[in-house]
Chains A and B, each alone.
Chain A
Amino acid sequence: MSEPLSVIDISHEYAGNVTLIGVSLELRPGEITALLGPSGAGKSTLLRLLAGLETPTDGRILYGETILAQKGHSVPTEKRSIGLVFQDFALFPHLTAVQNIAFGLIKETKTERARLALNWLERMGLGRHANAYPHQMSGGEKQRLAIARALAPKPKAILMDEPFSNLDPEQRDHIRRASLDIIRALNIPALIVTHDAEEAMSSADRLAIMRNGKILQSGTPEHLYKHPNSYEAAIALGPIIELEATRNEAGAPWQTQFGPVELDADKTRQAARIGVRPEAFILEASSPYRAHLITKTLKGPLIEAEIEVEIENAARRLKILLPASTRLQTGQEIGLRLSPDLCVLWPDKEASQKTVD
């Protein structure tokens, strides 16, 4: 029975530089958690702490109730039984594929090692590469081999540092899905470190957004996308447009340039700023809230439309997303309204860079 891997109020310093400040996170069995953030956010440090490659300066790391690390003490990596997958795969270049997988099977007999290693190769679709050396394999094959090597010794959890970033875009989606399905089936905690928001949202069951050594917000990808708790958390997952909003009385809908929006939070204030996802705009011919279409660019199933609106006697240009099926002419006047599902309320202009909840 697998247990959660928990990080509780962890801090870390390296050569006098603070890299993590009071980070808490729980990795649940059978769930894939993505740690998203730009480089320098501290996500790789957190992974290394979980792996036992670094020791925290404060806080605790637990597997179930077992302490893996706390201030000044850390169970060594080799004793943790936590699988690691590196960005560069870190395959042993002098060992064949089957030997790479068998490397971690230290408790089994020689025959059993070979059998298990070959099983894993088959499972990852690498059966015919058993005797190939890593340099004879493609990027995707190496990546699958690295995952198989980490999973073969039945680890308590698996940690992956940008595991798919070295793959070609064409094979990335397919390999990612196949690999993550296998990991999910093992019912162990799994962590993916990535700087790619799209990858994080499409592959993870839970998401944690990191910046400057802190976790800004964690939750399901959908919740985080629709209800970011700060401007920083919002832009980590995609572009956001800020609009002024007012209302005459507390509890009434907020009035914006694109019509009224009903948002629950903060029932007392009368002026605020609203964060709006570009796809929150709905085309509605009868809407009294008008804008001019300046340019349009096809982006897959959507159109990125640059519109111009007049706000407080000044023209402002915004980039919004509309369904590709929409028929639009450049220069055309269009009517718009907002879907409240993709809008979030910031407290005020000054506080828009800070946590809201």
Chain B
Amino acid sequence: MSGLKRIATSIRHVSRRDIPALMAGLIIGGPVMATVLIGLFAGGGDIWTHIFQTALMGYVLNTVALMIITGALVLIFAVPSAYLVTYYRFPGQSLFHWALILPLAAPGYVLAISYADFLGVSGPLQSGLRELTGLSAREYWFPDIRSLIGCSFVLACCLYPYAYLTLRVAFTSQSVSTLEAAKSLGLGASARFWRVILPSARPAIVAGTALALMEAVADYGAADYLGVQTLTVGVFRAWASYGDAAAGARLAILLVSLTLFLQWAERCQRGAASFDKSAKGWRKLTPIRLHGKQALGASFFCTGLLTLGFMIPMGHLIGLALEGSGASGSLLKAFWRSVSLAGLASLGAFALSLVIAFALQAGRTSGRFAQLGALMAYAIPGAVLALGALYVQRSFNLSGGPVIALGFLVLIYISRFTAAGLGPVQAALQRAPASLTQAARSLGASRWRRFRAVEWGVIWPGAAASMLILFVEMLKELPATLLLRPFDWDTLAVRAYAYASDERLAAAALPSLAITLAGLLPVILLSRQLSKNTFEEKT
């Protein structure tokens, strides 16, 4: 009742100033709503019946199994590595501290392309083994990367940094006094880890893993390339193979439910997160120096993880690129298209994130509404959002020229990624509290001058980070681009994927590397930002 009352009061208080944020919310939430409505009301038809009878169970089982295996691997990769780099000193620790998030730079499909070749029958590893042992390909067993487990491994390799990052923050914020109390109660290093450190980091573990799993569920490129029929692949195929957007939208509803469940689980844990921040006096954690075998073991684990997540796939791609014939004209064209498309859409998304952030800062309900829309759209796979756009295009007979197609693509990019840009802008705006703007008003500054001379001056570093993150996320985007792009209009991501699908791996390597290199920029920025937040601001 009180909730309803609150909503009613909020609606009554909607004013002219709420219009920009409400518009932003509608632009962002529109594609999500469209897909859900199509899935619910557009009717099933034969294609849906066919998918329901033949493929649905497989999609669901594969998606759930992918989530379980990827989740387990993410934990195996992230928990020990975050624990080691936070609590101990060992050779390479300061390097691993930031380098372990490098895999975030590469999208899943790039890792899949690289690993599929590297571990394939004709890849360097198996060839080397055959040369070394003299065996033929039929005479030994080798794990198949083109499988559910292989796909989970690839996704875990590029997604574990999500859990690593949240865990590192949680471990760093761990109260030193609590650890000292545990020591005084006779707990050794191992007991402290299992009985104090790990339980108090549980919210971070769930949050980080949920984030990684949302990305895993949304992945199209890696799963499709490695031949794993997940729900996202199903959504894509419902359109690409059967041309039925409504059937795809029905599958998408399942997918949306799954991602909403993950978000809900993460939020439940976040509510409980306050219990690990009870200690008042914050003291900087002093890492313990490891010696001998222990130091070696720690270095080995972190090196292994970095090798699996970044060095092998990127090294192999560099090798493949060097074998290739260099950049072709079509690749340069794809590069230009990627940059202009991502540039345009990131400007749009940035503008919307600015509108939402200001509305949130002013405590406007419209800001919260738009933020919710943005978070939902971010959690939903690009293929699902694209499906809604395709349905609208077809229903209103808008599939005319490339301009309309690109317009829809920009809209979907904006819808999907605005939330990624909102975070840094919001964080930056926290440095510009309402009192700053009020002070400027009391000094006679007009609205435009307040924005230009005060707010922008304070938030521009955050705004630049926001635009960079948006740009790179959009540069990497694959499924929505595949579905919505005009005919023969390739971006770098599409080129990389198309070359890889045609087994032209040397040609796929260069665009893949270009995307990863661009992805490195925000990753390094993020790493630096996190180091600053966890140490400088708290001391």
Contacts and interface: CB of A to CB of B under 8 A. Distances in A.
A94 B441 contact: no
Interface string B255-287: 000000000000000000000000000000000
A82 B9 contact: no
B438 A86 contact: yes
- Bin the interface of chain A by size: 20 to 34
Contacts of B444: 78-79, 81, 104, 106, 153
Interface string A82-125: 11101110111111000000011010000000000000000000
A104 B435 CA distance: 15
A150 interface: yes
Contacts of B438: 51, 53, 77, 84, 86, 90
Contact of B435 (A88, A149, A153): A88
B442 A92 contact: no
A103 B13 contact: no
Contacts of B13: 15
A238 interface: no
B431 interface: yes
Contacts, number: 69
Contacts of B433: 88, 90
Contact of A84 (B9, B442, B454): B442
A16 interface: yes
A331 interface: no
Contacts of A83: 442
A86 B443 contact: no
B457 interface: yes
17 contacts: A15-B9, A16-B9, A52-B441, A76-B441, A78-B444, A79-B444, A83-B442, A86-B435, A86-B438, A91-B439, A92-B436, A92-B457, A103-B445, A103-B453, A104-B442, A104-B445, A155-B442
B241 interface: no
Nearest to A79: B444
Interface residues of B, number: 19
Given A78-B442, A106-B444, 18 more contacts: A15-B13, A51-B438, A76-B441, A77-B438, A79-B444, A83-B442, A86-B439, A88-B435, A90-B438, A92-B457, A92-B458, A93-B431, A103-B440, A103-B453, A104-B444, A150-B439, A153-B444, A155-B442
B454 to A, nearest CB: 6
- Max chain A Cβ within 10 angstroms of own Cβ: one of B9, B435, B442, B444: B442
Given A78-B446, A81-B444, A103-B445, A90 B439 contact: yes
Given A90-B433, A92-B458, A84 B446 contact: no
Nearest to B10: A15
Interface string A164-196: 000000000000000000000000000000000
Interface in A258-276: none
B429 to A, nearest CB: 13
Nearest to A93: B458
Contacts of A92: 436, 439-440, 453-454, 457-458
Interface string A207-246: 0000000000000000000000000000000000000000
Nearest to B6: A15
Interface string B450-462: 0001100110000
Which applies to chain B's interface (DSSP): helix, strand, loop or mixed? helix
A266 B403 CA distance: 88
Contacts of B445: 78, 103-104, 106
Given A86-B435, A90-B436, A92-B436, A51 B458 contact: no
B442 A94 contact: no
A92 B442 CA distance: 13
Contacts of B436: 90, 92
B457 A94 contact: yes
A52 B444 CA distance: 12
A120 to B, nearest CB: 13
A20 to B, nearest CB: 19
3 interchain residue pairs of minimum CB distance = A104-B443, A90-B435, A84-B442
B439 A84 contact: yes
Contacts of B454: 92
B67 to A, nearest CB: 43
Contact of B443 (A53, A88, A94, A153): A153
A89 to B, nearest CB: 8
A82 B433 CA distance: 20
Interface string A133-174: 000000000000000011001010000000000000000000
A77 B442 CA distance: 5
Nearest to B444: A78
Contact of A94 (B9, B439, B446, B458): B458
A143 to B, nearest CB: 13
A80 B445 CA distance: 11
A93 B453 CA distance: 11
A268 to B, nearest CB: 51
Interface string B1-16: 0000000010001000
A38 B435 CA distance: 21
A149 B457 contact: no
Contacts of B435: 86-88, 90
A106 B443 CA distance: 9
Contacts of A52: 441
Interface string B423-440: 000000001010110111
Contacts of B439: 84, 86, 90-92, 149-150
A65 B441 CA distance: 23
A166 B268 CA distance: 36
- Max chain A Cβ within 10 angstroms of own Cβ: one of B13, B438, B457: B438
Interface string A49-88: 0011100000000000000000000001111111110111
Contacts of A80: 442
A87 B315 CA distance: 56
B366 to A, nearest CB: 15
